A = this chain, B = another copy of it.
Amino acid sequence: MAPKVSEEYKEQKKIEILQAAAIIFGEKGYYSTTMDDLVKESKMSKGAIYHYYKSKEEVYEHMLQLQAEQTIQLLEEKFAMLPFTTEKVGMLFDIYASNKWLNEPKLNSVRNQLEHWIAGSRAVNREKYEDRSLVFYRFLTKILQQGQESGEFSKEIDISNAAKLFWSMIDGILLHGTVLEHSFSYVEVVSMAKEMYITFLTRGVKE
């Protein structure tokens, strides 16, 4: 209702829309969510939403981007203080094993990411999705490199592929965990993956 408002106000409004979007898209998925659903969830008018985003697609895109950024940011914060790279990689698994990743909102966020990933892989502009992955790959590759340099990890391993393998594994586990929920022993599987992966990285390294 306020004209000529501050930039922060507008930014705040966009965040509010994205938060409602996260809830409702998470609940019903991209296709089954209607703009009326989002209107109801956000308690804004349709016009207001279209004032800030020019399509349902755009709302979704921005929501995904925000979630990816928040994830990366979270990871980097946690990592700032750890001295050893082995610990870092271990913590990465621990983060995903922690119950934070099992509650409803996170689950939905994961579902969204995966769903749009797949849908998007059919789209013409697939680069966007590639970019989003590369951020995650790069994040881990850097850590693995530190590990090789410090002598913690075997130098024979191709760290670029190892990073890809890590995220593939995590996404696969999240996928199964998301779909199967309680019949999938999520924590145990992540734990097994952690042991397997770290053993593999440190294999043949003298301690």
Q: Which of B47, B134, B172, B195 contacts A168 (CB under 8 A)? A: B172
Contacts of A117 in B (CB 8 A): 175, 179
Q: Are A173 and B179 in contact (CB under 8 A)?
A: no
Beyond A171-B176, A176-B168, is A192–B118 a contact (Cβ under 8 Å)? no
Q: Which of B129, B171, B179 contacts A133 (CB under 8 A)? A: B179
Contacts of A27 in B (CB 8 A): 122
Chain A, 167-207, CB within 8 A of any chain B CB: 167-173, 175-176, 178-181, 183-185, 188-189, 192-193, 195-197, 199-200, 203
Chain A residues within 8 Å of chain B by Cβ, number: 53
Contacts of A188 in B (CB 8 A): 158, 161
**Complex-state Cα separation, A134 to B161, whole angstroms:** 29
Indicate if A142 sits at the interface (CB-CB under 8 A): no
**A-B complex: 10 closest residue pairs judged by Cβ atoms:** A172-B172, A168-B172, A121-B179, A31-B31, A196-B200, A168-B173, A171-B172, A168-B176, A115-B118, A117-B179
